[in-house]
Structure 1
Protein backbone atom coordinates (compact mmCIF):
# COMPACT_ATOMS: atom_id res chain seq x y z
CA UNK A 1 0.00 0.00 0.00
CA UNK A 2 1.34 3.43 -0.98
CA UNK A 3 0.32 7.02 -0.29
CA UNK A 4 -0.96 7.13 -3.86
CA UNK A 5 -3.57 4.47 -2.90
CA UNK A 6 -5.20 6.93 -0.51
CA UNK A 7 -7.79 9.38 -1.81
CA UNK A 8 -5.82 12.23 -0.24
CA UNK A 9 -2.93 12.70 2.19
CA UNK A 10 -3.92 14.90 5.08
CA UNK A 11 -1.28 16.32 7.41
CA UNK A 12 -1.78 16.54 11.15
CA UNK A 13 0.53 18.69 13.27
CA UNK A 14 1.21 17.69 16.86
CA UNK A 15 2.15 20.90 18.68
CA UNK A 16 5.05 21.46 21.04
CA UNK A 17 4.19 20.10 24.53
CA UNK A 18 1.66 17.62 23.11
CA UNK A 19 1.37 14.71 25.57
CA UNK A 20 1.49 11.03 24.58
CA UNK A 21 1.62 7.76 26.52
CA UNK A 22 3.12 4.31 26.09
CA UNK A 23 3.71 1.20 28.15
CA UNK A 24 7.27 0.01 27.92
CA UNK A 25 9.85 -2.05 29.78
CA UNK A 26 11.06 -0.35 32.94
CA UNK A 27 14.65 -1.53 32.49
CA UNK A 28 16.74 -1.83 29.38
CA UNK A 29 17.75 -5.22 28.07
CA UNK A 30 20.81 -5.94 25.92
CA UNK A 31 18.72 -5.62 22.74
CA UNK A 32 16.82 -2.48 23.76
CA UNK A 33 17.09 0.58 21.55
CA UNK A 34 16.95 3.61 23.86
CA UNK A 35 16.17 7.03 22.42
CA UNK A 36 15.86 9.55 25.22
CA UNK A 37 13.20 8.22 27.61
CA UNK A 38 11.79 5.78 25.04
CA UNK A 39 12.80 2.10 25.09
CA UNK A 40 12.17 0.17 21.90
CA UNK A 41 12.67 -3.37 20.61
CA UNK A 42 15.45 -3.83 18.05
CA UNK A 43 14.93 -2.00 14.76
CA UNK A 44 13.95 -4.14 11.79
CA UNK A 45 11.89 -6.84 13.55
CA UNK A 46 8.82 -5.71 11.61
CA UNK A 47 6.49 -6.99 14.31
CA UNK A 48 4.40 -3.81 14.61
CA UNK A 49 1.76 -2.40 12.31
CA UNK A 50 3.87 0.52 11.08
CA UNK A 51 7.40 -0.78 11.71
CA UNK A 52 10.15 0.23 9.29
CA UNK A 53 13.03 -2.02 8.20
CA UNK A 54 15.89 0.37 9.04
CA UNK A 55 14.37 3.13 11.18
CA UNK A 56 13.24 2.91 14.82
CA UNK A 57 9.49 3.41 15.26
CA UNK A 58 7.87 4.36 18.57
CA UNK A 59 4.16 3.81 19.24
CA UNK A 60 2.12 6.08 21.53
CA UNK A 61 -1.50 6.64 22.51
CA UNK A 62 -3.46 9.81 23.15
CA UNK A 63 -4.58 8.57 26.58
CA UNK A 64 -3.07 6.24 29.19
CA UNK A 65 -6.09 3.92 28.90
CA UNK A 66 -5.56 3.57 25.15
CA UNK A 67 -1.90 2.71 25.77
CA UNK A 68 -3.01 -0.06 28.17
CA UNK A 69 -5.43 -1.53 25.64
CA UNK A 70 -2.96 -1.25 22.76
CA UNK A 71 -0.11 -2.88 24.66
CA UNK A 72 -1.62 -5.25 27.23
CA UNK A 73 -5.31 -5.92 26.58
CA UNK A 74 -5.23 -6.51 22.85
CA UNK A 75 -8.06 -8.49 21.24
CA UNK A 76 -5.85 -11.53 20.77
CA UNK A 77 -4.58 -11.54 24.40
CA UNK A 78 -6.18 -14.02 26.80
CA UNK A 79 -4.77 -12.93 30.17
CA UNK A 80 -2.54 -10.35 31.87
CA UNK A 81 0.73 -11.83 33.13
CA UNK A 82 1.81 -10.45 36.50
CA UNK A 83 5.45 -11.33 35.71
CA UNK A 84 5.26 -9.26 32.54
CA UNK A 85 3.39 -6.39 34.21
CA UNK A 86 6.03 -6.14 36.96
CA UNK A 87 8.65 -5.31 34.33
CA UNK A 88 6.69 -2.48 32.69
CA UNK A 89 5.95 1.19 33.29
CA UNK A 90 3.58 3.80 31.91
CA UNK A 91 5.64 6.53 30.20
CA UNK A 92 4.17 10.00 29.77
CA UNK A 93 6.11 12.17 27.30
CA UNK A 94 5.72 15.57 25.67
CA UNK A 95 7.08 16.91 22.40
CA UNK A 96 9.79 19.56 22.61
CA UNK A 97 8.97 20.70 19.04
CA UNK A 98 5.97 20.34 16.77
CA UNK A 99 5.93 17.47 14.25
CA UNK A 100 3.90 16.80 11.10
CA UNK A 101 2.25 13.39 10.80
CA UNK A 102 0.33 11.67 8.05
CA UNK A 103 -3.29 11.51 9.25
CA UNK A 104 -4.74 8.08 8.52
CA UNK A 105 -7.89 8.55 10.66
CA UNK A 106 -10.17 9.68 7.78
CA UNK A 107 -9.21 6.55 5.81
CA UNK A 108 -10.16 4.02 8.50
CA UNK A 109 -13.74 3.37 7.23
CA UNK A 110 -12.64 2.68 3.64
CA UNK A 111 -9.33 0.97 4.44
CA UNK A 112 -9.99 -1.54 7.25
CA UNK A 113 -6.48 -2.91 6.60
CA UNK A 114 -5.24 0.10 8.60
CA UNK A 115 -6.45 -1.60 11.80
CA UNK A 116 -5.85 -5.22 10.79
CA UNK A 117 -3.07 -7.67 11.54
CA UNK A 118 -1.95 -7.69 7.88
CA UNK A 119 1.16 -5.68 8.64
CA UNK A 120 2.94 -5.91 5.28
CA UNK A 121 0.47 -3.41 3.76
CA UNK A 122 0.64 -0.94 6.62
CA UNK A 123 4.44 -1.22 6.92
CA UNK A 124 4.73 -0.39 3.22
CA UNK A 125 2.50 2.65 3.77
CA UNK A 126 4.66 3.77 6.73
CA UNK A 127 7.81 3.45 4.59
CA UNK A 128 6.22 5.58 1.89
CA UNK A 129 5.14 8.19 4.46
CA UNK A 130 8.70 8.35 5.82
CA UNK A 131 10.07 8.76 2.26
CA UNK A 132 7.67 11.68 1.76
CA UNK A 133 9.00 13.45 4.86
CA UNK A 134 6.34 12.70 7.46
CA UNK A 135 7.62 12.47 11.06
CA UNK A 136 5.15 9.67 11.76
CA UNK A 137 1.47 8.75 11.61
CA UNK A 138 -1.75 9.38 13.50
CA UNK A 139 -4.32 6.58 13.27
CA UNK A 140 -7.31 5.07 15.05
CA UNK A 141 -6.71 2.55 17.78
CA UNK A 142 -7.62 -1.00 16.80
CA UNK A 143 -8.15 -1.83 20.47
CA UNK A 144 -10.19 1.09 21.87
CA UNK A 145 -12.98 2.52 19.77
CA UNK A 146 -12.71 6.17 18.71
CA UNK A 147 -9.28 6.78 20.27
CA UNK A 148 -6.11 7.84 18.53
CA UNK A 149 -2.61 6.46 18.41
CA UNK A 150 0.63 7.86 17.03
CA UNK A 151 3.85 6.54 15.61
CA UNK A 152 7.00 8.58 15.45
CA UNK A 153 9.80 7.68 13.07
CA UNK A 154 13.52 7.79 13.97
CA UNK A 155 14.67 11.38 14.53
CA UNK A 156 11.25 12.53 15.78
CA UNK A 157 11.56 10.20 18.78
CA UNK A 158 14.46 12.31 20.09
CA UNK A 159 12.08 15.30 20.31
CA UNK A 160 10.37 13.77 23.35
CA UNK A 161 10.94 14.62 26.98
CA UNK A 162 9.84 12.48 29.90
CA UNK A 163 7.14 13.96 32.11
CA UNK A 164 6.66 10.87 34.25
CA UNK A 165 7.29 7.14 34.28
CA UNK A 166 5.17 5.06 36.65
CA UNK A 167 5.62 1.32 37.29
CA UNK A 168 2.48 -0.72 36.55
CA UNK A 169 3.02 -2.76 39.72
CA UNK A 170 4.25 -1.09 42.90
CA UNK A 171 7.38 -2.99 43.98
CA UNK A 172 6.87 -2.33 47.68
CA UNK A 173 3.17 -3.18 47.98
CA UNK A 174 2.45 -5.25 44.85
CA UNK A 175 -0.46 -2.90 44.16
CA UNK A 176 -1.64 -2.57 40.57
CA UNK A 177 -1.75 0.71 38.66
CA UNK A 178 -5.43 1.69 38.23
CA UNK A 179 -5.05 1.31 34.45
CA UNK A 180 -4.48 -2.41 34.87
CA UNK A 181 -7.68 -2.86 36.85
CA UNK A 182 -9.64 -0.82 34.30
CA UNK A 183 -8.13 -2.63 31.28
CA UNK A 184 -8.68 -6.06 32.83
CA UNK A 185 -12.30 -5.22 33.61
CA UNK A 186 -12.99 -3.64 30.19
CA UNK A 187 -11.33 -6.47 28.27
CA UNK A 188 -12.66 -9.16 30.63
CA UNK A 189 -9.17 -10.55 31.18
CA UNK A 190 -7.84 -12.41 34.21
CA UNK A 191 -4.48 -11.88 35.88
CA UNK A 192 -2.16 -14.89 35.80
CA UNK A 193 1.26 -15.39 37.42
Structure 2
Protein backbone atom coordinates (compact mmCIF):
# COMPACT_ATOMS: atom_id res chain seq x y z
CA UNK A 1 0.00 0.00 0.00
CA UNK A 2 1.24 3.49 -0.88
CA UNK A 3 0.44 6.96 0.40
CA UNK A 4 -0.79 7.74 -3.13
CA UNK A 5 -3.51 5.10 -2.67
CA UNK A 6 -5.17 7.23 0.00
CA UNK A 7 -7.72 9.79 -1.14
CA UNK A 8 -6.05 12.38 1.09
CA UNK A 9 -3.16 12.38 3.57
CA UNK A 10 -4.25 14.04 6.80
CA UNK A 11 -1.72 15.06 9.41
CA UNK A 12 -2.61 14.71 13.09
CA UNK A 13 -0.56 16.73 15.55
CA UNK A 14 -0.21 14.78 18.79
CA UNK A 15 0.07 17.70 21.18
CA UNK A 16 2.20 17.59 24.29
CA UNK A 17 1.60 16.62 26.98
CA UNK A 18 -0.31 13.51 25.88
CA UNK A 19 -0.45 10.38 28.04
CA UNK A 20 0.14 7.08 26.18
CA UNK A 21 0.30 3.43 27.30
CA UNK A 22 2.14 0.31 26.15
CA UNK A 23 2.73 -3.25 27.30
CA UNK A 24 6.34 -4.40 27.17
CA UNK A 25 8.70 -6.98 28.64
CA UNK A 26 9.76 -6.06 32.17
CA UNK A 27 13.43 -6.71 31.41
CA UNK A 28 15.63 -6.58 28.32
CA UNK A 29 16.27 -9.74 26.36
CA UNK A 30 19.07 -10.41 23.86
CA UNK A 31 18.67 -8.08 20.90
CA UNK A 32 16.33 -5.68 22.72
CA UNK A 33 16.51 -2.09 21.47
CA UNK A 34 16.63 0.27 24.45
CA UNK A 35 15.42 3.84 24.06
CA UNK A 36 16.06 6.18 26.99
CA UNK A 37 17.06 5.22 30.48
CA UNK A 38 14.69 2.49 31.64
CA UNK A 39 12.02 3.71 29.22
CA UNK A 40 11.35 1.70 26.06
CA UNK A 41 12.33 -1.91 25.49
CA UNK A 42 11.63 -2.70 21.83
CA UNK A 43 12.11 -5.83 19.73
CA UNK A 44 14.95 -5.80 17.18
CA UNK A 45 13.97 -3.59 14.25
CA UNK A 46 14.85 -6.26 11.69
CA UNK A 47 12.02 -8.57 12.86
CA UNK A 48 9.28 -6.57 11.10
CA UNK A 49 6.65 -8.23 13.28
CA UNK A 50 4.38 -5.21 13.85
CA UNK A 51 1.72 -3.68 11.63
CA UNK A 52 3.66 -0.46 10.99
CA UNK A 53 7.25 -1.65 11.46
CA UNK A 54 9.93 -0.07 9.28
CA UNK A 55 13.10 -1.94 8.28
CA UNK A 56 16.07 -0.79 10.35
CA UNK A 57 13.96 1.65 12.38
CA UNK A 58 12.80 1.09 15.99
CA UNK A 59 9.01 1.47 16.24
CA UNK A 60 7.06 1.64 19.50
CA UNK A 61 3.33 0.98 19.73
CA UNK A 62 1.10 2.84 22.19
CA UNK A 63 -2.59 3.21 22.97
CA UNK A 64 -4.69 6.00 24.40
CA UNK A 65 -5.87 3.84 27.33
CA UNK A 66 -4.25 1.10 29.43
CA UNK A 67 -6.96 -1.43 28.52
CA UNK A 68 -6.51 -0.71 24.80
CA UNK A 69 -2.77 -1.38 25.13
CA UNK A 70 -3.60 -4.72 26.76
CA UNK A 71 -6.16 -5.66 24.10
CA UNK A 72 -3.65 -4.83 21.38
CA UNK A 73 -0.66 -6.63 22.93
CA UNK A 74 -2.15 -9.49 24.98
CA UNK A 75 -5.93 -10.00 24.80
CA UNK A 76 -6.18 -10.12 21.04
CA UNK A 77 -9.25 -11.60 19.36
CA UNK A 78 -7.27 -14.57 18.02
CA UNK A 79 -5.98 -15.50 21.51
CA UNK A 80 -7.49 -18.53 23.23
CA UNK A 81 -5.92 -18.04 26.66
CA UNK A 82 -3.45 -15.87 28.55
CA UNK A 83 -0.46 -17.28 30.44
CA UNK A 84 -0.13 -16.06 34.02
CA UNK A 85 3.61 -16.87 33.90
CA UNK A 86 4.08 -14.68 30.82
CA UNK A 87 2.02 -11.84 32.33
CA UNK A 88 4.35 -11.89 35.34
CA UNK A 89 7.15 -10.90 32.93
CA UNK A 90 5.28 -7.94 31.38
CA UNK A 91 4.75 -4.36 32.51
CA UNK A 92 2.37 -1.54 31.68
CA UNK A 93 4.31 1.58 30.77
CA UNK A 94 2.76 5.05 30.75
CA UNK A 95 4.59 7.90 29.07
CA UNK A 96 3.90 11.54 28.38
CA UNK A 97 4.90 13.27 25.17
CA UNK A 98 7.24 16.22 25.66
CA UNK A 99 6.97 17.67 22.12
CA UNK A 100 4.22 18.00 19.54
CA UNK A 101 4.47 15.10 17.09
CA UNK A 102 3.26 15.19 13.46
CA UNK A 103 1.58 11.85 12.69
CA UNK A 104 -0.08 10.38 9.62
CA UNK A 105 -3.75 10.02 10.52
CA UNK A 106 -5.15 6.77 9.15
CA UNK A 107 -8.36 6.87 11.20
CA UNK A 108 -10.48 8.46 8.42
CA UNK A 109 -9.40 5.66 6.05
CA UNK A 110 -10.36 2.72 8.30
CA UNK A 111 -13.72 1.95 6.66
CA UNK A 112 -12.40 2.29 3.09
CA UNK A 113 -9.22 0.29 3.66
CA UNK A 114 -9.82 -2.89 5.71
CA UNK A 115 -6.21 -3.82 4.92
CA UNK A 116 -5.25 -1.38 7.68
CA UNK A 117 -6.57 -3.94 10.21
CA UNK A 118 -5.50 -7.05 8.34
CA UNK A 119 -2.55 -9.32 8.99
CA UNK A 120 -1.07 -8.38 5.59
CA UNK A 121 1.72 -6.48 7.29
CA UNK A 122 3.76 -6.10 4.11
CA UNK A 123 1.10 -3.65 2.92
CA UNK A 124 0.91 -1.56 6.09
CA UNK A 125 4.69 -1.65 6.59
CA UNK A 126 5.18 -0.23 3.08
CA UNK A 127 2.78 2.58 3.99
CA UNK A 128 4.69 3.24 7.23
CA UNK A 129 8.00 3.42 5.35
CA UNK A 130 6.53 6.04 3.00
CA UNK A 131 5.10 8.01 5.94
CA UNK A 132 8.54 7.96 7.58
CA UNK A 133 10.18 9.18 4.35
CA UNK A 134 7.56 11.95 4.10
CA UNK A 135 8.60 13.30 7.52
CA UNK A 136 5.87 11.89 9.74
CA UNK A 137 7.06 10.78 13.20
CA UNK A 138 4.44 8.07 13.43
CA UNK A 139 0.91 6.97 12.64
CA UNK A 140 -2.36 7.27 14.54
CA UNK A 141 -4.86 4.52 13.72
CA UNK A 142 -7.97 2.82 15.06
CA UNK A 143 -7.44 -0.17 17.31
CA UNK A 144 -8.20 -3.48 15.61
CA UNK A 145 -8.90 -5.01 19.03
CA UNK A 146 -11.04 -2.45 20.90
CA UNK A 147 -13.80 -0.59 19.14
CA UNK A 148 -13.39 3.17 18.70
CA UNK A 149 -10.05 3.52 20.52
CA UNK A 150 -6.90 5.03 19.08
CA UNK A 151 -3.42 3.56 18.82
CA UNK A 152 -0.10 5.09 17.86
CA UNK A 153 3.03 3.78 16.14
CA UNK A 154 5.95 6.13 16.85
CA UNK A 155 9.48 6.20 15.45
CA UNK A 156 12.50 8.45 15.03
CA UNK A 157 12.72 11.54 17.20
CA UNK A 158 9.23 10.79 18.57
CA UNK A 159 10.84 8.03 20.66
CA UNK A 160 13.08 10.56 22.39
CA UNK A 161 10.17 12.97 23.01
CA UNK A 162 8.68 10.73 25.72
CA UNK A 163 8.94 10.94 29.50
CA UNK A 164 8.13 7.95 31.66
CA UNK A 165 5.27 8.54 34.04
CA UNK A 166 4.98 5.03 35.51
CA UNK A 167 5.86 1.42 34.91
CA UNK A 168 3.73 -1.18 36.67
CA UNK A 169 4.01 -4.96 36.69
CA UNK A 170 0.98 -6.74 35.27
CA UNK A 171 1.28 -9.21 38.16
CA UNK A 172 2.23 -7.89 41.63
CA UNK A 173 5.39 -9.66 42.78
CA UNK A 174 4.37 -10.10 46.43
CA UNK A 175 0.66 -10.84 46.26
CA UNK A 176 0.39 -12.28 42.74
CA UNK A 177 -2.62 -10.01 42.11
CA UNK A 178 -3.35 -8.92 38.56
CA UNK A 179 -3.06 -5.27 37.56
CA UNK A 180 -6.58 -3.81 37.39
CA UNK A 181 -6.21 -2.98 33.68
CA UNK A 182 -5.20 -6.58 32.92
CA UNK A 183 -8.16 -7.91 34.93
CA UNK A 184 -10.46 -5.56 32.99
CA UNK A 185 -9.06 -6.68 29.61
CA UNK A 186 -9.30 -10.37 30.56
CA UNK A 187 -12.91 -9.87 31.61
CA UNK A 188 -13.79 -7.90 28.47
CA UNK A 189 -12.16 -10.43 26.16
CA UNK A 190 -13.50 -13.42 28.12
CA UNK A 191 -10.10 -15.09 27.92
CA UNK A 192 -9.11 -17.65 30.54
CA UNK A 193 -6.00 -17.09 32.63
CA UNK A 194 -3.79 -20.16 32.28
CA UNK A 195 -0.76 -21.17 34.39
Q: TM-score, normalised by structure 2?
A: 0.97
Match of 2:42 among 40, 43, 49: 40
How many residue pairs were aligned?
193
Pick the aligned partner of 1:77 from 73, 76, 79: 79
2-structure distance, mates of 1:107, 1:69: 22
Q: Which runs of 5+ in 1 are unaligned?
A: none
Corresponding residue for residue 167 of structure 1: 169
Offset at residue 30 of structure 1 (A):
2.0
Aligned partner (choices 90, 95, 98) of residue 96 of structure 1: 98
Measure how far apart 1:96 and its partner are.
1.0
CA drift of 1:139 comes to 0.1
Q: Tell me the equivalent position of 2:145.
A: 143
1:179 equivalent among 181, 184, 191 = 181
In the other structure, the counterpart of 1:14 is 14
Aligned counterpart, 2:26: 26
The structural deviation recorded for 1:185 is 1.2
Picking from 106, 109, 120, the partner of 2:108 is 106
Is the partner of 1:189 in helix, strand or coil? Answer: coil
CA distance in 1, matches of 2:148, 2:73: 17
Alpha-carbon distance, 1:155 to partner? 2.3
* 2:59 counterpart (38, 57, 65): 57
**Structure 2 residue matching 1:151: 3-state secondary structure:** strand
String of CA shifts for 1:88-119, please: whole Å, max 9, x gaps: 11000011111100000000000000011110
Q: Render the CA deviation track for 1:19-46: whole Å, top value 9, x for unaligned.
A: 1000101111121111021110001111
**Any runs of at least 4 consecutive aligned residues in structure 1 with deviations exceeding 2 A, and if so which?**
none
Deviations 1:137-174, CA, capped at 9 Å, x for gaps? 00000000000000101221111110000100000000
- Provide the secondary structure at the position in 2 that maps to 1:27: coil
Q: Which consecutive residues of structure 2, in runs of 5 or more, have no partner in the other structure?
A: none
Q: CA offset at residue 76 of structure 1? A: 1.1
CA RMSD between the two structures? 0.7
For residues 68 and 102 of structure 1, what CA distance do their matches in structure 2 show?
A: 23
